[in-house]
Amino acid sequence: MSSEELAGWLRLTLTIGVGNDAARRLLAAFGLPQAIFEQSDSALGQLLTPAQVKAAQTEPPGLSALLRTTQDWLAAQADPALGGRMIVTLGDPAYPLSLLATDDPPLMLYLLGQVQALAPQSAHQRSPVAEPTEAADGRGHAANGWPSRAIAMVGSRNPTPQGAENARQFARSFSAAGLTVVSGLALGVDGAAHDGALSAWPDAATADPSGRICTVAVIGTGIDRVYPRQHHELARRIARQGLIVSEYPLGTPPLAANFPKRNRLIAGLSQGTLVIEAALQSGSLITARLTSEQGKDVFAVPGSIHNPQSRGCHALIRQGAKLVETAQDVLEELRWPATVVAIESEAASAEPTCATGTLDTEDEVLRALGSDPVGLDALLARTGLDTPRLQARLLELELDGHVARLPGGLWQRMARA
């Protein structure tokens, strides 16, 4: 992309009052952005309001500085382990086809990571308003390299330990079955999903030699920022084995309004969405709604009736989302090719055990815990143990990963997803 072309796209995205919808009308009428800004007021007035025409005829403040910053970012010698850098626009052959089928595809996407997997369809660019095609190769990639077998995973930023473990195990199973896991790099379920997908990789230090994109993180900031800060190392791992995607210009801070908006991209890049633990007001339900509006499947993992983080999933199930208990449930529902579905999930088939035998039949404390969070007083009554013995046993089980301590003095049994 030339400097003039990049400047045109940046100007179009920065023009106040001209959103994606109006910009697409302009692109369809006049071609590339440079041509748009060469039009007369009367020509632009056929598609824009007077206020939009005035804004389009004025160079946005900060454009020159942003152009230099963006060029420097593209030209910088990144750590080889972090893959490459790339910007794709609506007219680019490497633009994800699945987003073209959505109501509000972004004008530009900033990419960091395994961009070499995104091979152009042909030597000629598509029109910015071209219709998407569905052809895919044997690796589960669309014709231009974007994953055609992708599952979105979203959920609470404050999941229970079991919810986080469920996300990790589901994602690991999906990745082992050849799917790409798409999420938002947020705390909680998002981070666990990315981590689970990465953990299925044969070599955590390098990209998959087959060229498959392991996981995609869609972020709500500029791609030169990592938010939250706790996920700095996770972002590096994703860049080594997948892609980080943003529609926002470099330097964009973590503004609250951007995160619900980016959810449409998470839904758009996926063939279905799995929700793991979500409160009734969770942003994850926005992603689920957008997925449903795009005609795709929504899946939800049920939880305890006493857990507020399960109520969003239960509401989705009442509204028609598919209840799932294992990764295999999702794979079969989506009717992936038999070579993918046939791969057994270790997480789905494993039975939890401990040194004394099966947990279900041998350990009295685990039997007393059941499946819901329980307080110490209730456990004392159920087991008949004295306080020191019960606390000692709970500590042993916690160290072995069989139980987790929750806020409020509660304990929860951990099971594999």
Residue 105 sits in a domain whose CATH number is 3.40.50.450
Say whether both 65 and 196 belong to one domain. Answer: no
Domain count, the chain: 3
User: Do 112 and 205 sit in the same domain of this protein?
Assistant: yes
In a domain, 126, yes or no: no
Same domain? For 156 and 104 the reply is: yes
Helices 161-176 and 189-199: crossing angle in degrees, nearest 10, is 40
Kindly state whether residue 128 falls inside one of the protein's structural domains: no
Give CA–CA dist 30/325, Å, rounded: 51
Asked whether the predicted pLDDT for residue 293 surpasses 80, the reply is yes
Which of 43, 69, 95 is the last residue in one of the domains? 69
pLDDT score of 78: 62
Last residue of a domain, one of 304, 322, 348: 348
pLDDT at 80 (0 to 100): 67
387 lies in which domain range? 351-413
Q: 196 and 50, same structural domain? A: no
Res 120: pLDDT: 53
pLDDT in tens, 95-113: 999 999 899 999 999 999 9
Query: Quick check: helix, strand or coil at residue 219?
Result: coil
DSSP for 160-203, written as a single string: -HHHHHHHHHHHHHHHHTTPEEEE---TTHHHHHHHHHHHTSS-
Q: What is the rounded average pLDDT of the residues 236-250?
A: 95
Sheet containing strand 322-323, edge to edge, reads 84-89, 108-113, 243-246, 215-218, 180-183, 150-155, 272-276, 297-301, 322-323
pLDDT at 26 over 80: yes
Token pair of 16 as six digits? 């106040």
Bridge partners (DSSP) listed for residue 275: 154, 300
What is the Rg, in whole angstroms, of the alpha carbon atoms belonging to the chain? 24
Structure confidence by residue, pLDDT tens digits, 211-222: 679 999 999 999
Is 373 a domain residue?
yes
- Please report the pLDDT score of residue 229 as a whole number: 94
89 and 22 within one domain? no
CATH code, domain with 361: 1.10.10.10
Residue 124 lies in a domain: no
| 229 and 376 housed in the same domain | no
382 and 344 share a domain? no
Residues 204 and 163 in one domain: yes
What is the per-residue pLDDT across 60-90, written as a single tens digit (0 to 9) for each?
999 999 999 999 999 986 666 678 999 999 9
Residues 29 and 114 in one domain: no
- Domain end, chosen from 323, 348, 373, is at 348
Give the rounded distance of the alpha carbon of 104 from its chain centre.
17
Query: Do 188 and 333 belong to one domain?
Result: yes
- Please count the other Cβ atoms lying within 10 Å of the Cβ belonging to residue 401: 13
Q: Which residue, chain included where needed, has tokens 């955590």?
A: 204
- Is the residue at 272 inside a domain? yes
131-174 pLDDT tens trace: 444 445 544 555 568 998 999 999 999 998 889 989 999 999 99
- pTM tops 0.75, yes or no: yes
| Same-domain status, 340 and 406 | no
Q: Which residue has the tokens 């208990």?
A: 325
Confidence band of 411 (pLDDT split at 50, 70, 90): confident
**Per the domain annotation, does 42 fall within a domain?**
yes
Which residues are registered as beta bridge partners of 300? 275, 323
**Is position 125 within any domain?**
no
Whether 131 is covered by a domain: the verdict is no
- Are 154 and 183 within 8 A, CB to CB? yes
The verdict on 209 and 334 lying in the same domain is: yes
pLDDT of residue 374: 80
